[in-house]
Chain A
């Protein structure tokens, strides 16, 4: 009798037949074929004998027991993740724009403030205020950065003298220079060899207080200036 299945095909069907997972038609073909392979018949008996014990083990209930709370824990973790995502999206929707607006406001406020000082200084020069007010170092630095010397400033003041009743005699330049030199002397007693103080650019070495002192002294020496 020629088997309907080859040995390889019979081997491949053996486990499913042993565990009762072959269809009726395939089972019949297998039973007919295995008779031709006695060693496989013996193997089938061994497998069925051993696995009959394994089949008694209730793997399903063990797994059922182990996995019974997974769905609850998954839902909890999902809820936690969603809550985190919501808080993050709230952060992006509300907090970040608010912080940006505040930062921009601070930036514009600080920019406007320095702009205000610049306007104040120029209004002083334009003579709208008829006296010299406190001049901040930032303003001085603006003037100096634009390479504006004291003489140029004074010349600007003199040019407005008719309108503003400010009168600065030309010889006062020497007085001012002397005052600046007097104020700078303590700091320039030991000048660095590489950067000696340039008398023509003495304004660069002044701070707020020194400028104020010079202006006060200037008003004492020549009250008609202010």
Chain B
């Protein structure tokens, strides 16, 4: 049933229409499912904590669903969600800094582990995630976001340009530089050498 509905409500416009005039609960669920990974991973890149990213993603969708009826379609839904995500993350980050000032919590927590893989794979993934995340953090923010949105989210340069407010030419240059730096870092990393021995 859900599959057929997902198939029936393929585009954002259809989901919005369903949310406004039809079964709002079902449309909201489809909307969240469609963009949850995008919002969560963007929040994770900014907040570096799964708990915070989870809270942020929920808050983003609550804000988005509250305003979905007023969405005019000047930009894509993804661009709109990305902007909300940045606002929410900035707010959470500010709160976290305030709390860590009193609790001496460095707030660093990155641990991407899936429950559905074997312990060996979990160990490798965890190890690699730590390395890869550390490398991504070494990139300037624009390069990191360009890389993530292009490489992981597979967005077009035009879409990323609207999200980040950078020209398409600038984004292409950023992307190349990001990939170049990451390749060098990965090549020289302890993780990659260990992986090659295996």
Using a CB–CB distance below 8 Å, which chain A residues touch chain B?
8, 11-15, 18-19, 21, 43, 46-47, 49-51, 53-54, 57-67, 70-71, 73-75, 77-78, 81
Q: Nearest chain A CB to B96's CB is how many angstroms away?
A: 19
* B28 and A78 contacting across the interface, CB-CB below 8 Å: yes
Using a CB–CB distance below 8 Å, which chain B residues touch chain A?
25, 28-29, 32-33, 36-37, 40-41, 50, 54, 57-58, 61-62, 65, 112-117, 125, 128-129, 132, 150-152, 154, 169, 172-173, 175-176, 179-180, 182-184, 186-187, 192, 195
* A75 and B28 contacting across the interface, CB-CB below 8 Å: yes
* Complex CA–CA separation, A201 to B33 (angstroms): 86
Q: Which residue of A lies closest to B50 (CB)?
A: A66
Q: Nearest chain A CB to B194's CB is how many angstroms away?
A: 11
* B152 and A59 contacting across the interface, CB-CB below 8 Å: yes
* A70 and B32 contacting across the interface, CB-CB below 8 Å: yes
Q: Nearest chain A CB to B142's CB is how many angstroms away?
A: 15
* Complex CA–CA separation, A11 to B54 (angstroms): 37
Interface core residue of A15, A58, A60, A77 (most chain B CB under 10 Å): A15
CB-CB < 8 A to B151: which residues of A?
15, 19
* Complex CA–CA separation, A14 to B150 (angstroms): 13
Residue among B57, B128, B192 making CB contact with A57, cutoff 8 Å? B128
Q: Nearest chain A CB to B64's CB is how many angstroms away?
A: 9
* A43 and B116 contacting across the interface, CB-CB below 8 Å: no
* Complex CA–CA separation, A81 to B66 (angstroms): 11
Residue among A50, A60, A74 making CB contact with B183, cutoff 8 Å? A50
CB-CB < 8 A to B41: which residues of A?
63
* B113 and A50 contacting across the interface, CB-CB below 8 Å: no
A-B pairs with lowest CB-CB distance, top 5: A12-B172, A71-B32, A15-B179, A67-B36, A65-B114
Given contacts A59-B152, A62-B113, contact A70 B61 (CB under 8 A): yes
* Complex CA–CA separation, A43 to B181 (angstroms): 11
CB-CB < 8 A to A58: which residues of B?
114, 117, 125
